[in-house]
Amino acid sequence: MGSWRLAVGCPICQPFLCEEWQSEPVGGGLPLSIFGMTGHKSLRVYQLAFELAMEIFELSKTFPKDERYSLTDQIRRSSRSVAANIAEGYRKRQYPKMFVSKMADADGEGAETETWLDFALSCGYIDKVKHESLFSRYEAVGGMLGKMIVAPEKFMPRSRNS
């Protein structure tokens, strides 16, 4: 079975790796697990999406009870789906079309979350500062996903002999 590795140092892959791995060379086709990389959780885009989902979960606890089955459930679901789709797509990255599809789904869920944030702001459940903070970070996630979508080959598994 081939090893799995990202092109550390590649300008496309670089923003997606944890900070501690951005300057660390990965050599000779060795499996990433030797270097401490553990799949999708090593991707900065996944980490940011997960952090955002948790922040939205905590924030949504302050929403009115009458929003429980509408805004609260929707924003929690869509924010969690961003990270979940990244994880699922990364696991299926040996199939480029599947990988691109899941990253596009993650991007769509991020856009949906941005829409729910707009509703939360308009309804007065969050302030403008919180809205701008969350919205700008979802835009960053979207930018990273866009780069992954246009260059899926940078995330494909490589064999030890390549």
User: For position 138, which CATH number holds?
Assistant: 1.20.1440.60
Q: Which range of residues forms the domain containing residue 105?
A: 44-153
- Here the tokens at position 3 are 């090893």
- Low-confidence stretches of the chain (pLDDT beneath 70): 1-38, 159-162
Domain tally, the chain: 1
Q: Is residue 119, in this structure, part of any structural domain at all?
A: yes
8 A C-beta contact, residue 98 and residue 89: yes
Strands (E), the chain: none
Q: Is residue 10, in this structure, part of any structural domain at all?
A: no
pLDDT tens column, 15-46 = 555 444 343 333 333 344 434 446 899 899 99
Q: Is residue 21, in this structure, part of any structural domain at all?
A: no
**d(C-alpha 26, C-alpha 7), whole Å:** 8
Q: Is residue 48, in this structure, part of any structural domain at all?
A: yes
Q: Is residue 122, in this structure, part of any structural domain at all?
A: yes
Q: Is residue 118, in this structure, part of any structural domain at all?
A: yes
Q: What pTM value is reported for the model?
A: 0.76
